[in-house]
Amino acid sequence: MVTDADPQFDPPEDSTTDAAAGELVNQTLTAAELAQDQSSGRSPVGLHVARAPEAGANAEAPSIVRLEGVSFYYGSFRAVKDISIDVRAHQITALIGPSGCGKSTLLRTINRMNDLIPGTRVEGRIRYHEEDLYAPYVDPVEVRRRIGMVFQKANPFPKSIYDNVAFGPRLNGFKGDLDGLVESSLERAALWGDVKDKLKTSGLSLSGGQQQRLCIARAIATEPEVILMDEPCSALDPRSTLQIEELMAELKEKYTIVIVTHNMQQAARASDRTVFMNMAEDRAGYVVEAGPTVGIFTDPRNQMTEDYVSGRFG
Amino acid sequence: MSNSQAITVGVVQGSLRRRRVDVAGTVFAAALLLSLLFTLAVLAILVGDQMTRGLPVLAERGTDFFSASLSSRPAQAGIAQGLIGTAMLTAMVALLAFPIGILTAIYLEEYAPNTGLTRFIAINIRNLAGVPSVVYGLLGLAVFVALFRALGVGTGRNILSGGLTLAVLVLPLVIITSAEAIRAVPNTIREAGYGIGASRWQVVRQLVLPSAVPGILTGTVLALARALGETAPLILAGAVLGSFSTGGSLGDLFGGPYTALPVIVYDWARKPQEEFRALTSAAILVLLAVTIIANGFAIFLRNRYDRRW
Amino acid sequence: MTAAAPLDSRLRGTRARRRNERSVKAVLLFAAVLTVAISIGIVSSLIFEAFEFVRSVDLGRLFSAGWFPRRGLFDLPTVLAGTLIVTAVAMLLAAPIGLASAVYLAEYASPRARSIIKPVLEILAGIPSVVLGFFALTWISPNIVRTLFTESTGFSLLAAGLGVGILTIPLVASISEDAMRAVPNSLREASYGLGARRVTTSLRVVAPAAISGIVAALILAISRAVGETMVVAIAAGASGGSLFTADPRDPGQTLTAAMASLATGSDNVTGNSSAFLSLFFLGFVLFLLTLGLNLIGDVFVRRTRQVY
**Chain B neighbors of C105, CB-CB under 8 A:** 36
Question: Which residue of chain C is at minimal alpha-carbon distance from A111?
Answer: C11
User: Does residue C46 sit at the B interface (CB-CB below 8 Å)?
Assistant: yes
User: Does residue A288 sit at the B interface (CB-CB below 8 Å)?
Assistant: no
**Which pLDDT value is given to residue C8?**
67
CB contact under 8 A, C11 and A15: no
pLDDT exceeds 50 at position A50: no
Per-residue pLDDT band for B76 (boundaries 50, 70, 90) equals confident
Per-residue pLDDT band for C95 (boundaries 50, 70, 90) equals very high
Longest dimension (CA), chain C: 99
What is the DSSP code string of B230-254? --HHHHHTTPPPS------SHHHHH
**Which pLDDT value is given to residue A163?**
94
Q: How many residues can be counted in chain B?
A: 309
Could you tell me the end-to-end alpha-carbon distance of chain C, in angstroms, rounded to an integer? 57
Check: CB of residue C62 under 8 Å from CB of residue C76: yes
Q: Which of C129, C137, C287 sits opposite B135 (nearest CB)?
A: C287
Higher per-residue confidence, C80 vs B309: C80
Question: Which residue of chain A is at minimal alpha-carbon distance from C15?
Answer: A139
Mean pLDDT of the residues in chain A: 81
CA distance A233 to chain B (A): 16
**Which pLDDT value is given to residue C117?**
87
User: Does residue C256 sit at the B interface (CB-CB below 8 Å)?
Assistant: yes
Interfacial B residues in 15-54 facing C (CB < 8 Å):
22, 24-25, 28-29, 31-36, 38-40, 42-43, 45-46, 49-50
CA distance A174 to chain B (A): 13
pLDDT exceeds 90 at position B246: no
User: Does residue A158 sit at the B interface (CB-CB below 8 Å)?
Assistant: yes
Per-residue pLDDT band for A229 (boundaries 50, 70, 90) equals very high
pLDDT exceeds 70 at position A56: no
**Which pLDDT value is given to residue C173?**
94
CA distance A29 to chain B (A): 20
Per-residue pLDDT band for A16 (boundaries 50, 70, 90) equals very low
Chains in touch with B (3+ beta-carbon pairs under 8 Å) read: A, C
CB contact under 8 A, A34 and C3: yes
Question: Which residue of chain C is at minimal alpha-carbon distance from A14?
Answer: C8
**Which pLDDT value is given to residue C305?**
60
**Which pLDDT value is given to residue A95?**
95
The residues, ordered by sequence, that sit 6+ positions from B303 with a Cβ below 8 Å of its Cβ are C115, C119
CA distance C32 to chain B (A): 5
pLDDT exceeds 90 at position A107: yes
The residues, ordered by sequence, that sit 6+ positions from C44 with a Cβ below 8 Å of its Cβ are none
- At position C292, the amino acid (one-letter code) is G
User: Does residue A172 sit at the B interface (CB-CB below 8 Å)?
Assistant: yes
Sheet holding C73-74, edge to edge: C73-74, C66-68, C242-243
**Chain C neighbors of A129, CB-CB under 8 A:** 7
Q: Choose which CATH entry (3.30.70.2740, 3.40.50.300, 1.10.3720.10, 1.20.120.1200) describes domain C61-307.
A: 1.10.3720.10
Q: What is the mean pLDDT of residues B68-93?
A: 88
Q: In angstroms, rounded to a whole number, what is the distance separating the alpha carbons of residues C210 and C103?
A: 11
Ordered by start, the domain boundaries in chain C are 13-56, 61-307
Q: What percent of chain C has pLDDT over 90?
A: 31
In this predicted model, what pLDDT tens digit does every residue of A250-297 receive, in sequence order?
999 999 999 999 888 899 999 999 999 999 888 899 999 999 999 999
Q: What is the mean pLDDT of residues A209-218?
A: 93
A178-188 vs A161-171: helix axis angle to the nearest 10?
A: 110
Domains of chain A, CATH where assigned: 11-309 (3.40.50.300)
CA distance B4 to chain C (A): 25
Q: What is the mean pLDDT of residues C39-54?
A: 86
Q: Which of B188, B196, B210 sits opposite A148 (nearest CB)?
A: B196
CB contact under 8 A, C199 and B25: yes
Q: What is the mean pLDDT of residues A182-204?
A: 93
pLDDT exceeds 60 at position A33: no
Q: In angstroms, rounded to a whole number, what is the distance separating the alpha carbons of residues C303 and C308?
A: 10
Mutate to test the interface with C, among A138, A142, A146 (most CBs of C within 10 A): A142
Per-residue pLDDT band for A31 (boundaries 50, 70, 90) equals very low
Check: CB of residue C175 under 8 Å from CB of residue C220: yes
Question: Which residue of chain A is at minimal alpha-carbon distance from B209?
Answer: A158
Q: In angstroms, rounded to a whole number, what is the distance separating the alpha carbons of residues A49 and A32?
A: 11
pLDDT exceeds 60 at position C2: no
In this predicted model, what pLDDT tens digit does every residue of C219-228 receive, in sequence order?
999 999 999 9
Chains in touch with C (3+ beta-carbon pairs under 8 Å) read: A, B
Q: Which of A14, A30, A141 sits opposite C1 (nearest CB)?
A: A30
Q: Which of C1, C4, C11 sits opposite A37 (nearest CB)?
A: C4
**Which pLDDT value is given to residue C240?**
65
Q: What is the mean pLDDT of residues C46-58?
A: 84
In this predicted model, what pLDDT tens digit does every residue of B193-231 receive, in sequence order?
999 989 899 999 999 999 999 889 988 998 999 999 999
Looking at this predicted complex, what is its ipTM? 0.87
In this predicted model, what pLDDT tens digit does every residue of C183-196 receive, in sequence order?
888 888 888 888 88
Per-residue pLDDT band for C48 (boundaries 50, 70, 90) equals confident
CA distance A138 to chain C (A): 5
CA distance C167 to chain B (A): 10
Q: Which of B92, B302, B95 is nearest to B180 (CA)?
A: B302
pLDDT exceeds 80 at position B181: yes
